[in-house]
C-alpha cells in the first residue's frame, strides 16, 4: 500500500490543457515533485524510526505518535492539523483530476457532451466537477475506508498498466509522433511498470478484483452503447479507410 502515497502525481498530467507550455512544464512538474516528495518521505521515515521503534509505528497517525513521544505537545497538535489540511488538498486534487479526465473523454466523444461543458466565467468543466463530487461524497459516506482504499489501489494500478502498455504500443506503431518528452528505455520501462503493477495487484483480496470487474463491465456498457458511436478516433479511422 506504500505506493498509495504516490498516486497523486499522475493528477498533474490531467491539468496539461491548462498549462502554458505542457511539453516542458508537465515533465518538470511530475518528475520534480516526485523527486522532492520521495526525499522528504525518506527523511521523515528516518526521523520517525529514530524517535520510536518501527514496530510501534504501525498506527493510523505515526507522525503524531512520534511527536507526542518527544513531549512537544504543540508539535503533535501542529502535525494533526497538517494531516487534516493534507487530506483536504488530496481530495481536491483528485476531484480536479477526475473532472479533467471526464472533460477530455467528452471532447474525444467517449462520454456525453455535458461532461465537457466549460463554465462561461470560471472556464472549468463545472458539470463534471459537480457530478464527481456527488459520487465521491456518496461512496465515502457508505463504503468503509478500508474497502475504498483497496478499490482506489486496484483501479490506479490497472490505470498504470494501461498507460505503460499505451506507451509501448504507441512507440512501436506510431514512432513518427512528435514527442517533446520521451519515456526512456522502451520497452524495458513499460514492461517493468506493468510487472510491478500486476505484482502489487495480486496482493489485493478477491472481493476487490470482483468489484474491479463490475466497474469494468459498467465502463464497457457505456463505451459500446455510446462511446464507440461518437468516438473521434473511430470516426477518423472510418474516414481513413473510406467507410
pTM score, whole prediction: 0.78
In a domain, 210, yes or no: yes
In a domain, 159, yes or no: yes
Number of structural domains (the chain) is 1
Check whether 217 has a pLDDT greater than 90: yes
Instruction: Note the maximum CA span of the chain.
Output: 75
* 123 dihedral zone (left: phi>0; alpha: psi -120 to 50; beta): left
In a domain, 185, yes or no: yes
Looking at residue 180, the DSSP 8-state letter turns out to be S
pLDDT band, residue 239 (cuts 50/70/90): low
In a domain, 206, yes or no: yes
Residues of the chain with pLDDT > 90, as a percent, come to 39
In a domain, 107, yes or no: no
- Segment 121-136 shows an average pLDDT of 90
Residues 50-61 have pLDDT tens digits of 998 988 888 878
In a domain, 198, yes or no: yes
Residues 60-101 have pLDDT tens digits of 788 888 888 888 888 888 888 888 887 787 778 878 888 888
Helix ranges (H only) for 22-125 are 22-51, 62-69, 73-107
In a domain, 203, yes or no: yes
Cell of 154: 486496484
In a domain, 188, yes or no: yes
Among the residue ranges 15-24, 194-203, 204-213, the one predicted with the least confidence is 15-24
Range of the domain at 230: 143-234
Own/partner long-range contacts of 35-44 (Cβ < 8 Å, ≥24 apart): 37/5, 37/6, 37/9, 41/5
CA angle 142, 86, 122 (to 5 degrees): 85
Q: What is the pLDDT of residue 140?
A: 84
Residues 96-117 have pLDDT tens digits of 888 888 998 999 999 999 998 9
Amino acid at each position: 500500500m506504500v505506493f498509495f502515497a504516490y498516486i497523486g502525481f499522475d493528477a498533474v498530467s490531467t491539468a496539461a490543457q491548462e498549462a502554458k507550455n505542457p511539453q516542458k512544464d508537465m515533465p518538470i512538474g511530475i518528475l520534480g515533485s516526485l523527486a522532492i516528495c520521495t526525499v522528504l518521505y525518506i527523511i521523515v521515515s528516518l526521523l520517525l524510526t529514530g524517535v520510536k521503534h518501527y514496530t510501534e509505528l504501525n498506527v493510523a497517525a505515526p507522525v503524531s505518535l512520534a511527536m507526542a513521544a518527544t513531549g512537544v505537545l504543540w508539535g503533535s497538535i501542529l502535525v494533526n492539523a497538517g494531516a487534516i489540511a493534507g487530506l483536504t488538498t488530496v481530495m481536491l486534487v483528485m476531484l480536479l483530476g477526475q473532472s479533467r479526465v471526464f472533460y477530455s473523454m467528452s471532447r474525444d466523444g467517449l462520454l456525453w457532451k455535458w461532461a465537457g461543458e466549460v463554465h462561461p466565467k470560471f472556464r472549468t468543466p463545472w458539470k463534471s466537477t459537480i457530478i464527481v463530487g456527488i459520487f465521491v461524497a456518496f461512496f465515502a459516506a457508505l463504503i468503509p475506508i478500508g474497502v475504498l482504499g483497496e478499490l482506489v489501489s486496484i483501479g490506479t494500478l490497472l490505470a498504470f498498466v494501461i498507460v505503460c502498455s499505451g506507451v509501448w504500443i504507441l512507440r512501436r506503431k506510431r514512432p513518427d509522433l512528435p514527442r517533446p518528452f520521451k519515456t526512456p528505455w522502451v520497452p524495458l520501462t513499460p514492461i517493468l511498470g506493468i510487472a510491478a503493477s500486476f505484482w502489487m495487484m495480486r496482493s489485493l483480496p478477491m472481493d476487490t478484483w470482483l468489484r474491479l470487474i463490475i466497474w469494468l463491465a459498467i465502463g464497457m456498457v457505456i463505451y459500446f452503447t455510446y462511446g464507440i458511436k461518437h468516438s473521434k478516433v473511430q470516426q477518423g479511422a472510418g474516414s481513413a479507410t473510406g467507410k
